């Protein structure tokens, strides 16, 4: 029997955040993480010999939510459910959390949000939300049942359950904590070429336009 370890969970969260940021850098082709929210503090950089910016001038691209903290549990009402809940074995309200962001990179024309569970027992993880063509002037996704902007195809869609928009967590009832990586990409394009893109198609479509990204990670497990 495995034992839950808070330290292990925190380490998993840190690794997933770092991996998501590394993937964003690969998408943008940037040599340095300009416009990408970084877990490295200014003090750490200064200690490594870098010149620290004056206090109060660092404004990283940041994604937050009033519904859960970074590394914390997603709300119970975010769990998958509704019309296809019985098919999946989950009975939540299937409501997305609200997301807010600030300090986007200069030149941002739109945003794309991708949400993935890399702990799912399927290659590439289970994709819970694909939304794009979010206007560059926006600073929020309302969640809570609101369907905004262009919705792509989640793994629920690609596995035969036609869910529009957010498809909430529904991990196997093993007690294992799953991590849900919310990655918001700032793009130099105003729109992507088609509606209904899958996670992989959206990733390919945004590749030439990524200016930066920011990540927040939520957790969920069943039984609750």
The tens digit of pLDDT for each residue in 46-100 reads 333 334 445 567 789 999 999 999 999 999 999 999 988 898 899 999 999 999 9
Write b or e for each residue in 152-172: b if 16 or more Cβ atoms lie within 10 A of its Cβ, otherwise e. bbbbbbeeebebebbbbbbbe
pLDDT, residue 8, reads 52
* Contacts (Cβ under 8 Å, ≥6 apart) of 89: 170, 173
| Core vs surface per residue 173-199: b (16+ CB within 10 A) or e | eeeebbbbbbbbbbbbbeebeeeebbb
Give the pLDDT of residue 200: 95
Query: What tokens appear for 138 in the block?
Result: 């926006």
Report CA-CA distances (Å) from 146 to 7, 29, 96, 149, 151.
Answer: 35, 33, 8, 10, 11
Asked if the model's pLDDT at residue 22 lies above 80, the reply is no
Distance in Å from the first CA to the final CA of the chain: 18
| pLDDT score at 158 | 86
pLDDT category, 7, cuts 50, 70, 90? low
DSSP helix, strand, coil percent of the chain (3-state; round to 5): 25, 25, 50
- Whole-angstrom distance, CA of residue 59 vs CA of residue 202: 27
Q: How far apart are CA 197 and CA 202, in angstroms?
A: 6
Neighbours of 14 (CB within 10 A): 13
Q: What is the pLDDT of residue 39?
A: 36
Assess contact for 143 and 129: CB atoms under 8 A.
no
pLDDT digits (tens, 9 = 90+) for 164-190: 899 999 999 999 999 999 999 999 999
Distance, in Å, from the CA atom of 222 to the CA atom of 224, rounded to the nearest integer, reads 5
CA atoms within 13 A on the CB side of 191: 7
Per-chain mean pLDDT for the chain: 83
pTM for this entry: 0.78
8-12, 63-67, 77-81, 193-197 — which is least confidently predicted? 8-12
pLDDT of residue 42: 33
pLDDT of residue 160: 87
**In the chain, what are the domains?**
61-220 (3.90.280.10)
| pLDDT tens track for 94-128 | 999 999 999 999 999 999 999 999 999 888 999 99
């Amino acid at each position: 029997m495995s034992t839950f370890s808070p330290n292990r969970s925190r380490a998993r969260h840190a690794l997933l955040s770092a991996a998501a940021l590394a993937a964003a850098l690969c998408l943008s082709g940037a040599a340095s993480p300009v416009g990408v929210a970084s877990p490295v503090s200014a003090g750490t950089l200064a200690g490594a010999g870098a010149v620290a910016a004056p206090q109060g001038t660092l404004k990283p691209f940041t994604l937050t939510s009033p519904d859960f903290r970074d590394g914390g549990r997603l709300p119970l009402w975010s769990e998958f459910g509704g019309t296809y809940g019985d098919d999946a074995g989950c009975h939540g309200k299937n409501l997305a959390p609200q997301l807010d962001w600030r300090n986007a990179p200069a030149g941002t024309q739109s945003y794309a949000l991708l949400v993935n569970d890399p702990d799912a027992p399927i290659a590439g993880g289970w994709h819970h939300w694909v939304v794009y063509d979010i206007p560059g002037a926006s600073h929020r996704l309302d969640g809570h049942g609101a369907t905004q902007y262009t919705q792509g195809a989640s793994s629920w869609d690609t596995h035969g359950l036609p869910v529009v928009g957010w498809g909430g967590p529904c991990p196997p009832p093993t007690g294992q904590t799953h991590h849900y990586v919310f990655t918001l990409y700032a793009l130099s394009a105003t729109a992507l070429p088609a509606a209904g893109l899958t996670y992989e198609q959206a990733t390919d479509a945004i590749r030439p336009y990524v200016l930066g990204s920011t990540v927040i990670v939520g957790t969920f497990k069943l039984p609750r």
